[in-house]
Amino acid sequence: MPHSINSPPDEDIFVTLIRGLGRAGRIRLVVNVPDLFRKFNQAPSLKMFNSILDVLVKEDINLAREFYQKKMMRSGVQGDDYTFGILMKGLCFTNRIGDGFKLLQVMKSRGLRPNTVIYNTLIHALCKNGKVGRARSLMNEVEEPNDVTFNILVSGYCREQDLVQALVLMEKSFSLGFVPDVVTVTKVVELLCNVGRVMEAVEILERMESKGGVVDVVAYNTLIKGLCRTGKVKAGHGFLKVMESKGCLPTVDTYNMLISGFCESGMLNLALDLFNEMKTDGIIWNFDTCDMLIRGLCSEGRMEDGFKILELMEETKAGSRGHSSPYNSVLYGFYKNNDRDQAVEFLKKMGKLFPKAVDRSLQILSFCEKGCIEDAKRVYDQMTEEGQIPSVIVYDSLILGFCLEGCVREAFELMNKMVDIGKFPVASTVNAIISGFLRQGKLSSALKLLEDMVGRGCLPSIESYRPLVEALCGKGDFQRALGLFLQMWQCKHQIVGKVKEPQFCGKEAVTPAETGWLMALSCLSVALLSYHCMMLLVHARWKLDSKLASIASFGELGCAVWSHRHFSVDAVIILAQAGFCFPIDDESCLCYHGEAVLPFHVLLVCLWMRGLVVLEMSLAALLVPNFAGFGGLS
> Tell me: the pLDDT tens digits for 342-368?
999 999 888 888 888 899 999 999 998
Q: Write the DSSP string, 37-100.
A: HHTTT-PPPHHHHHHHHHHHHHH-HHHHHHHIIIIIGGGT----HHHHHHHHHHHHHTT-HHHH
**510 CB contacts (<8 Å, ≥6 apart)?**
502, 504, 518, 553, 554, 555
Q: Averaged over 315-335, what is the pLDDT?
A: 83
Residue 497 and residue 494: Cα distance in Å, rounded? Answer: 9
3-state secondary structure of 573: helix
What pTM did the predictor assign? 0.70
Q: Classify residue 591: in a domain, yes or no.
A: yes
Q: Averaged over 510-526, what is the pLDDT?
A: 46
According to the model, what pLDDT value does residue 161 have? 93
Q: Classify residue 58: in a domain, yes or no.
A: no
Residue 220 and residue 202: Cα distance in Å, rounded? Answer: 10
Q: pLDDT digit string (tens) for 47-87?
A: 877 887 888 888 778 887 877 777 777 777 777 888 888 88
Range with lowest mean pLDDT among 292-306, 405-419, 443-457, 483-497: 483-497
According to the model, what pLDDT value does residue 491 have? 58
- Residue with the bigger pLDDT between 117 and 39: it is 117
Structural domain of residue 524, as residue ranges? 507-632
Q: Classify residue 563: in a domain, yes or no.
A: yes
According to the model, what pLDDT value does residue 160 have? 93
Number of domains the chain contains? 1
Range with lowest mean pLDDT among 7-16, 156-165, 256-265, 300-309: 7-16
Mean pLDDT of the chain, nearest integer: 77
According to the model, what pLDDT value does residue 631 have? 41
Residue 195, pLDDT > 60, answer: yes
Residue 147, pLDDT > 90, answer: yes
Share of the chain above pLDDT 70, in %: 73
Q: Classify residue 88: in a domain, yes or no.
A: no
Q: What angle do CA 496, 502, 507 make, to 5 degrees?
A: 150
Q: Classify residue 52: in a domain, yes or no.
A: no
Q: Averaged over 405-423, what is the pLDDT?
A: 89
Q: pLDDT digit string (tens) for 428-478?
A: 888 899 989 999 999 989 888 888 877 776 666 777 788 888 888 788 787
- Residue with the bigger pLDDT between 461 and 243: it is 243
Q: Classify residue 532: in a domain, yes or no.
A: yes
Q: pLDDT digit string (tens) for 296-309?
A: 999 998 999 999 99
Residue 380, pLDDT > 70, answer: yes
Share of the chain above pLDDT 90, in %: 35
According to the model, what pLDDT value does residue 489 have? 64
CA nearest to 522, candidates 557, 550, 497: 557
Q: Classify residue 462: in a domain, yes or no.
A: no
Q: Classify residue 492: in a domain, yes or no.
A: no
